[in-house]
Structure 1
Amino acid sequence: MIVLVRLSISTLMIHHGLEKLSDPQGFTTFIIDKYFDYLPLNHLYWTYLAAYTQLIASGLVIFGFFFRPALISLSITMVFALVFHFLDSGLQGAPFAIVEAHNYEYETSSLYLIAYLTLMVSDAGQFSVKHSLSRYIPENIRWLA
């Protein structure tokens, strides 16, 4: 069952990374510059960091390798997404209000974060690179794999 969750949640997240890479300047201008103007460095850097985190970490989760570090990085990305949606549209009367277009703005980010945290406390499962290589990985760093 874990393998299905790993595959589905990661495949869906890849879309978000590709979307950022399709217009990195637009994402930077309308999201990073507007809502996270306090971040250091060139803001385009943060767009690429988010996009490549969503792509690379999702691939690692799919294969079940460096599983928890990948989930931690994806969770951090989702926390930033939640902050953005909260700053942009607030709680929108959640959980009982009916919002325009019947879609809470932050709902998708919340669901991703819940899935990542749930996976983080579990394990990659037997259908993973980690499981296949576990006998070669020293026990004290096995949680990383």
Structure 2
Amino acid sequence: MAACFALWFVALGKPVTSFAPPARLTALAPAVKAYLRPGPMASFGLLLLRLTIGALMIHHGQEKLADPQQFANTYVASLHLPFPLFFAYAAGFSELIGSWLVILGLLTPLGALALSGTMTVAAYQHISTAGFNIYVLELVLLYLGGSLALLFNGPGRFSFDAGIIPAVLDDMSVVAASDSTVSSGDVGDLLAIPVPVTHSPRG
């Protein structure tokens, strides 16, 4: 955990390579920054949620990948999906990789989306096989609710996303502004170029 925070602080001061961004992307910068940097107390709550959901979900992915054939036969087959072994691996990697992304706050929307997707399928599987049994559904719904909360609220400011993405957006805005200034100057220079006028001799 200490290494994760150390990497986060390093990311805050890391220089970003400049490149010319599309105008639509720079227009979204304020909304993205608001998504990534809520207040300190809200960010602390999101950090606790990320660590809890991520840490508890990791072992579910590890269990699936430890014996994917057993998971495919027990759970995936009941959904009548083709290639059950493929979906068993997909669920295992989604939970394992998604958990680490959520814990680190790195590409958090993708990690939260991966966890939400697997938990949605798990909830459907439990309902289709056991009905609305709260003792079977409660854990799945808790994971699903927490993952969706992270997806819609963002990782908070204590995350890699909050340390890296706003800096990238700021750099892109500077590049876009400088490109616009240069383009305007080029047009002015072209208008200021004298055009020679030639007179044809009269017969």
| Structure-2-length-normalised TM-score | 0.59
Q: Tell me how far 1:137 sits from its aligned partner.
A: 2.9
- Alignment-derived partner of residue 56 in structure 1: 97
SS in structure 2 opposite 1:106? helix
One-letter amino acid matched to 1:116: S
Equivalent of 1:28 in 69, 72, 85: 72
Quote the residue 1:97 is aligned against. none
Q: Secondary structure at the match of 1:127?
A: coil
Matching of residues 8-19 of structure 1 within 5 Å: 8-19=52-63
* Amino acid across the alignment from 2:52: S
Distance in structure 2 (CA, Å) of the matches to 1:125 and 1:74 = 18
Whether 2:113 is the aligned partner of 1:72: answer yes
Task: Write out per-residue CA displacement over residues 38-93 of structure 1, whole angstroms, 9 at most, x where no aligned residue.
Answer: x23x211100000000000110111111111211121111011001111121013x
Whole-angstrom CA distance in 1 between matches of 2:168 and 2:90: 28
Among the aligned pairs, what percent are the same residue? 37
CA distance in 1, matches of 2:136, 2:124: 11
Kindly report the root-mean-square deviation, in angstroms, between the aligned alpha carbons of the 2 structures. 1.4
- Report the secondary structure of 1:91's partner residue: coil
In 1, Cα distance between the equivalents of 2:153 and 2:95? 20
Q: Give the SS at the match of 2:47.
A: helix
5+ long unaligned stretches in structure 1:
95-103, 140-145
Q: Which residue of 1 aligns with 2:149?
A: 118
C-alpha displacement of 1:15:
1.0
Number of equivalenced pairs: 126
Match of residue 36 from structure 2: none
> Tell me, which stretches of 5 or more residues in structure 2 are unaligned?
1-44, 171-203
Tell me how far 1:135 sits from its aligned partner: 3.3
Return the alpha-carbon distance in structure 2 between the equivalents of residues 111 and 122 of structure 1. 16
Write the letter of the residue equivalent to 2:93. Y
Q: Which has the higher helix share?
A: 2
- TM-score, scaled to structure 1: 0.81
Q: CA deviation at 1:138?
A: 3.5
